Chain A
Amino acid sequence: MTILNEIKKKIQNKEIEPKSKLHFYFVNFVWWFLFVLLFIISSIAFGVMIYMFKEADWEIVRLVSSGIWGKILLVLPRLWLLLIIITTILAVWEFRKTKKGYRYDIIGILTVVFFGSITFGSLIYVSGFSERLDSLLTDNISVYHGRLRQQMELWDRGEKGLLIGRLISIDGDDIVVHAPGGIVWEVDISSVDNLEELELDSILKIRGEQLKEQKFIANTLEMLEMERFFGGHKPPIRPFMSPMRGNRDGERFPMRPAY
Chain B
Amino acid sequence: MQNIDCTKISGKDIVERVIANPDFFYCIVRSYEGQLRAYISRLTNVSNEEIEDILQESFIKIYENINSYDNDYKFSTWLYRIVHNETISYWRKHKKRMNDMQLDISDDFFVNIQSDTDLIKEVDSTFVKEKIKSALNKLPFKYREVIILRYMEDKDYQDISDILKKPVNTIGTLLNRAKSQLKIILDK
Do B26 and A16 touch (CB < 8 A)? no
Give 1 or 0 for each of B82-112: 1 = CB within 8 Å of chain A CB. Answer: 0000000000000000000000000000000
Do B169 and A105 touch (CB < 8 A)? yes
User: Which of A5-13, A79-87, A117-125, A236-244 sits within the interface?
Assistant: A5-13
Do B60 and A19 touch (CB < 8 A)? no
Verify if A212 is at the interface (C-beta below 8 Å from B). no
Shortest CB-to-CB span from A132 to chain B, Å, is 40
Q: Which residues 1-55 in B have Cβ within 8 Å of A in the complex?
A: 18-19, 22, 26, 29-30, 33, 52, 55
Verify if B75 is at the interface (C-beta below 8 Å from A). no
Overall SS of chain B's interface: helix
Partner of B170 from the list A11, A19, A105 (CB cut-off 8 Å) is: A105
* Given A4-B26, A4-B30, A8-B26: A19 and B56 interface contact (C-beta under 8 Å): no
Q: Which residues 62-88 in A have Cβ within 8 Å of B in the complex?
A: none
Verify if A104 is at the interface (C-beta below 8 Å from B). yes
* Given A18-B18, A102-B166, A105-B167: A7 and B56 interface contact (C-beta under 8 Å): yes
Verify if B168 is at the interface (C-beta below 8 Å from A). yes
Overall SS of chain A's interface: helix
Partner of A18 from the list B29, B30, B66, B170 (CB cut-off 8 Å) is: B66
Partner of B29 from the list A7, A23, A99 (CB cut-off 8 Å) is: A7
Do B52 and A11 touch (CB < 8 A)? no
Verify if A20 is at the interface (C-beta below 8 Å from B). yes
Interfacial chain B residues near A245, Cβ < 8 Å: none
The complex places the Cα of A9 from the Cα of B63 at a distance, in Å, of 13
Do A24 and B30 touch (CB < 8 A)? no
The complex places the Cα of A20 from the Cα of B68 at a distance, in Å, of 8
Verify if A258 is at the interface (C-beta below 8 Å from B). no
Give 1 or 0 for each of A84-109: 1 = CB within 8 Å of chain B CB. Answer: 00000000000000011011110000
Verify if B67 is at the interface (C-beta below 8 Å from A). yes
The complex places the Cα of A4 from the Cα of B22 at a distance, in Å, of 13
Shortest CB-to-CB span from A100 to chain B, Å, is 8
Give 1 or 0 for each of B65-82: 1 = CB within 8 Å of chain A CB. Answer: 111101010000000000
Do B33 and A3 touch (CB < 8 A)? yes
Q: What's the tally of chain A residues with a CB closer than 8 Å to chain B?
A: 21
Interfacial chain B residues near A20, Cβ < 8 Å: 67
The complex places the Cα of A185 from the Cα of B31 at a distance, in Å, of 85
Interfacial chain A residues near B161, Cβ < 8 Å: 102-103
Verify if B131 is at the interface (C-beta below 8 Å from A). no
**Least CB separation from B55: chain A residue:** A3
Interfacial chain B residues near A24, Cβ < 8 Å: 65, 67-68
Partner of A7 from the list B18, B59, B65, B72 (CB cut-off 8 Å) is: B59
Do B67 and A11 touch (CB < 8 A)? no
The complex places the Cα of A115 from the Cα of B175 at a distance, in Å, of 31
Interfacial chain B residues near A11, Cβ < 8 Å: 22, 60, 63
Interfacial chain B residues near A6, Cβ < 8 Å: 52, 56
Partner of B167 from the list A4, A10, A99, A104 (CB cut-off 8 Å) is: A104
Do A19 and B30 touch (CB < 8 A)? no
Partner of B63 from the list A4, A18, A103 (CB cut-off 8 Å) is: A18
* Given A3-B33, A103-B167: A18 and B52 interface contact (C-beta under 8 Å): no
The complex places the Cα of A102 from the Cα of B73 at a distance, in Å, of 14
Q: List 16 A-B contacts (CB under 8 A).
A: A3-B52, A3-B55, A4-B26, A4-B29, A4-B30, A4-B33, A6-B52, A7-B56, A7-B59, A10-B60, A18-B63, A18-B66, A19-B67, A102-B167, A103-B167, A105-B167
Chain B positions within 8 Å of A, measured between CB atoms, are 18-19, 22, 26, 29-30, 33, 52, 55-56, 59-60, 63-68, 70, 72, 161, 165-170
The list of the 5 closest CB pairs from A to B, nearest first, reads: A102-B165, A24-B68, A21-B67, A18-B66, A105-B167
